[in-house]
Structure formats: structure tokens, C-alpha cells
Amino acid sequence: MTQPESVNAAAGPGRELPDVSALVVGVLGGTGDQGRGLAYRLAQAGQQVVIGSRTAERAVAAAEEIGLGVRGADNAACARESDVVIVAVPWDGHAETLTALRAELAGKIVVDCVNPLGFDKQGAYALQVPEGSAAQQAAALLPDSRVTAAFHHLSAVLLQDASLERIDTDVLVLGEERAATDVVQALAERIPGMRGVFAGRLRNAHQVEGLVANLISVNRRYKAHAGLRITDI
């Protein structure tokens, strides 16, 4: 049975993940809370990070605020200069942003972390997506990219809280290609406290994205910044 110790182990059993320390990571939507938080954590872990935004000026401003060698560029330049590109744009701009970057993202590992959610008086709820999920939409729009999905359940508040040295949580990583999901798992594990856990193919991304609505309910009820751990691995 799972003991607390194993929950906090740096890596799961028998896994050898690739060395990703030399990869340049782009963060599209890096001026938003989630993107900014991920850029900060990855840069702090020693990763080269490029923040992308619609205008280079906003991206440069956000990058300078973070420091740690983070650069800023417009989305197209961010995609071109990066080996791995995290998509952290609002769901509203998801399809449009990716459609415009098809050429720049060709051949790259794309990490979709977008959660299609609606909000009303009763809180958050998962939206229906024609393609099934944000990640499947990305895969449909980017046939020449290696599309994965990850980083959905991280609290933007915790990511940006510089007083926290660790964020003890698991990052569920989905995708069709083992080499690509291994890279994303390794990237997650650069951040102290995080484990990258393979959690299925993109056809099972909808519920992973939608679960953020449940975590928002948890946060409301318990005044928390909830995350996930997978037990028994």
C-alpha cells in the first residue's frame, strides 16, 4: 500500500526519463497567471524559458518581471525559438492562436494545459468541446506537431508564490507518443515536489481538463489551493 514517503518520492518506480535541461521551453500565454507561474518555476529550475504573447512588448515586460533569464517574444517567435511549447492561453483564444502558429509549431512538442471551463453563479463547469477536449483540438489543428497535455491542475497562486520552494503535486501527462510524454514528464519533474505521471492518450484528456472544475469546488469548500496526487505509484 502507498505510504506517505512514496508519495513524495522524486520519481515513480523504474522510470528513466530523458535529460531535458538543455531544452528551450516556450510558454504561449505566458503573461497570464498560469503561464507566468509555469515560466517562473521552470526558469527557477534552470530551464531556458521564452514567454510568448500577442505583442512582443507585453511578453518582454512579463519576462523582465520574472527575471531568471526569461525572455519575451511575440507568439510566433516564441514558438520558433523553443523546443517544447506550453500552451497556456485562455480557452477563448485557443483555436485561433494555434491555427496561426501551425508552421512555427511543426515538429515541436506542444504541451496543452488549457481547461475549457464555463462559470456561473454555481461555480465552474466543464464545457463541451467539439473535438473532445482542448488537447484534441490542438492535435487536430497542429497535425505536424507532437501534441501532449499536462499541467492542468496546478494552482496559479502556488506557482507564483516565491516563498514556496516546493509544490508537492503530480502532473498528469497525456499523449500518443511515449518519447514526447517522457520529455513532458521530465520537464514537470524539474520543478521541486512535482512528479510527472503518464495518464493516458489524448482521447482521455477531456476529464483531466474538466477536473479543474472539481478542484475549484474543493478550493471553495476548504479554502485551499487543491492539487492531485496519484497513490500507489
- For residues 189 and 196, the answer to whether their CB atoms sit within 8 Å is yes
- Chain residues 1-20 in contact with a second copy, contact rule CB under 8 A: 1-5, 7-8, 12-13
In this complex, which beta carbon is closest to a second copy, that of residue 30 or of residue 210? 210
- Chain residues 123-162 in contact with a second copy, contact rule CB under 8 A: 123-126, 155, 158
The answer to whether residue 121 forms part of the interface with a second copy (CB under 8 A) is no
Lay out the site mask for a second copy across 207-226 (x = CB under 8 A, - = otherwise): xxxxx-xxxxxx--xxxxxx
- For residues 78 and 102, the answer to whether their CB atoms sit within 8 Å is no
Type of residue found at 12: G
Burial of 2 (0-12, 13-18, 19+ CB in 10 A): exposed
The rounded distance, in Å, linking the Cα atoms of 147 and 160 is 26
Minimum CB distance to a second copy, residue 193 (Å): 8
Name residues whose C-beta falls within 8 Å of residue 7's C-beta, 6 or more positions apart in sequence.
229, 231
Binding site for a second copy (CB under 8 A): 1-5, 7-8, 12-13, 122-126, 155, 158, 164, 166-169, 172, 174, 193, 197-201, 203-204, 206-211, 213-218, 221-233
